[in-house]
């Protein structure tokens, strides 16, 4: 009972932080970090206090590191996480779907995964981060990269996949050590309910921690209000509540 009360309290404070993020912006700074022989970029959002804090790797949609993704990172910082929004496109942001498609196709998958594993490692070596409490969350393209990060980084504690593509190879899935939560649209023609059910069955067969939810009346990218034809406010709120509560349970941020 005590644990449930603590989780409820954390979740309530998280919800309040979401509401106040716009009036209490987190401290943000542009950062670079090594990624193999390259230099990767991101925006770092810092919570108050000296820590050590849990940390979250924020992974953008196919649009790039735009204002909506920055808002998500800011929310997490306001909840007590060190939040690093990784810029997989190295400064480019799409202004229309054709450009987003071109940028996504132009991103080598191995470089994207390397940037993300490097980001998690960079966070783990910061004095204000607890290296044992690092998670990741992504949407759309970023949701697919979030689960790929979980495959590549055995030290990742928790991962949230929002309508991202799902791996099917059981050898890859067996390498996931993170607890997994996913939110998907029942009308999504890219990541279908059958894909979600197959991933769920494979993960459970391997004894992995997984919690997936399909929203029957939602399509792809239903959490982003900029998706004017596909945004589903009630489903989006529920998915965001699930995501924030899950990460609070797994990473235990210290609320301010």
Task: Write out pLDDT tens, residues 151-181.
Answer: 999 999 999 999 999 999 999 999 999 999 9
pLDDT of residue 51: 87
Are the beta carbons of 81 and 55 closer than 8 angstroms? yes
Question: 3-class DSSP state for residue 185?
Answer: strand
Task: Count structural domains, the chain.
Answer: 1
- Which DSSP state fits 34? E
Task: Look at residue 35 and tell me if it is in a domain.
Answer: yes
- Residues 6 or more apart whose CB falls under 8 angstroms from that of 3 comprise none
Domain of residue 137: give its range. Answer: 2-251
Task: Look at residue 200 and tell me if it is in a domain.
Answer: yes
| Burial state string for 154-177 with b = 16 or more CB within 10 A and e = fewer than 16 | eebbbbbbbbbbbbeeeeebeebe
pLDDT of residue 19: 38
Task: Look at residue 88 and tell me if it is in a domain.
Answer: yes
CA–CA dist 84, 105 (Å, integer): 23
Cβ-count burial of 41 within 10 angstroms (0-12 exposed, 13-18 middle, 19+ buried)?
buried
Task: Look at residue 256 and tell me if it is in a domain.
Answer: no
CA–CA dist 46, 188 (Å, integer): 34
pLDDT of residue 27: 86
Question: 3-class DSSP state for residue 113?
Answer: helix
Are the beta carbons of 129 and 53 closer than 8 angstroms? yes
Task: Look at residue 99 and tell me if it is in a domain.
Answer: yes
Ranges of the chain whose pLDDT falls below 70: 1-26, 254-256
Strand ordering across the sheet containing 129-139: 27-35, 38-46, 82-87, 53-59, 129-139, 158-162, 179-185, 210-215
CATH of the domain at 35: 3.40.50.1820
Tell me the whole-structure pTM to 2 decimals: 0.89
């Amino acid at each position: 009972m005590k644990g449930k009360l603590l989780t409820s309290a954390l979740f309530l404070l998280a919800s309040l932080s979401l509401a106040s993020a716009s009036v209490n912006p987190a401290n943000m700074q542009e950062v670079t970090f090594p990624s193999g022989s390259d230099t990767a970029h991101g925006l770092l959002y810092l919570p108050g206090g000296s820590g050590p804090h849990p940390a979250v790797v924020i992974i953008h949609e196919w649009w790039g590191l735009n204002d909506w993704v920055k808002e998500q990172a800011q929310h997490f910082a306001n909840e007590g996480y060190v939040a690093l929004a990784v810029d997989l496109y190295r400064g480019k942001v799409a202004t229309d779907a054709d450009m987003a498609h071109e940028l996504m196709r132009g991103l080598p998958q191995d470089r994207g995964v390397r940037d993300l594993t490097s980001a998690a490692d960079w966070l783990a070596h910061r004095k204000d981060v607890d290296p044992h409490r690092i998670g990741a969350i992504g949407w759309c393209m970023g949701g697919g990269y979030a689960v790929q990060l979980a495959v590549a980084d055995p030290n990742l504690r928790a991962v949230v996949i929002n309508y991202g593509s799902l791996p099917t190879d059981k050898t890859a899935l067996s390498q996931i050590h993170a607890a997994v939560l996913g939110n998907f649209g029942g009308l999504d023609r890219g990541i279908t309910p059958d894909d979600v059910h197959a991933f769920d069955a494979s993960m459970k067969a391997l004894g992995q921690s997984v919690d997936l939810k399909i929203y029957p009346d939602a399509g792809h990218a239903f959490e982003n209000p900029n998706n004017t034809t596909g945004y589903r406010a009630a489903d989006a709120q529920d998915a965001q509540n699930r995501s924030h509560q899950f990460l609070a349970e797994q990473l235990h941020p210290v609320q301010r």
